[in-house]
Amino acid sequence: MDTNGTEDGRQDRFQRYDCSDGCPVEAALEQISGKWKGMVIYHLLPGKMRFNALLRLLGTVTQRSLTKQLRELEADGIVHRKVYAEVPPRVEYSLTEKGLELRPVIEALGQWSGRYKL
């Protein structure tokens, strides 16, 4: 693993995020950036959800893309993945405490989008 890399092979832009006033914002955006991450977080706000339910809600996302985004969110401590030992296997996703703290951010983005009719 490179000094700027993560265990899953992603590259962080900076090794540390205390380089300027804007770095903490950039660090936060780096963790939640991704085509589907914001919507995954939004759909998990009410509670736990299974993979196929997320897949259906997101519509055009591929299984591969959703899996990748969920793994990254899990690695960053935003999403919790619970596997049940049953046949067929059942996996549920939920937000961690860290993920739940994003509620006001996600809600503010929704309000901002609505205000500007985006």
pLDDT (tens digit, 9 = 90+) per residue, 42-84? 999 999 999 999 999 999 999 999 999 999 999 999 999 999 9
Half-sphere exposure of 10 (CA within 13 A, CB side): 15
Higher pLDDT, 92 or 19: 92
Going along the chain from its start, the domains and CATH numbers come out as 1-33 (no CATH), 37-115 (1.10.10.10)
C-alpha to C-alpha distance for 92 and 88, rounded to whole angstroms: 13
CA distance 118 to 108: 14
Please compute the mean of the pLDDT values over residues 4-32 and round it to a whole number. Answer: 69
pLDDT recorded at residue 73: 97
**Interaxial angle between packed helices 37-44 and 63-75, expressed in degrees from 0 to 180 and rounded to the nearest 10:** 70
Which pLDDT score is estimated for 11?
Answer: 60
Distance CA 46, CA 117 (A): 24
Measure the CA–CA gap between 3 and 75, rounded to whole angstroms.
Answer: 17
pLDDT recorded at residue 26: 84
- Smallest CA-to-CA distance from 33 within 11, 52, 55, 18 is with 11
pLDDT at 118: 84
Where residue 23 falls among pLDDT bands split at 50, 70, 90? confident
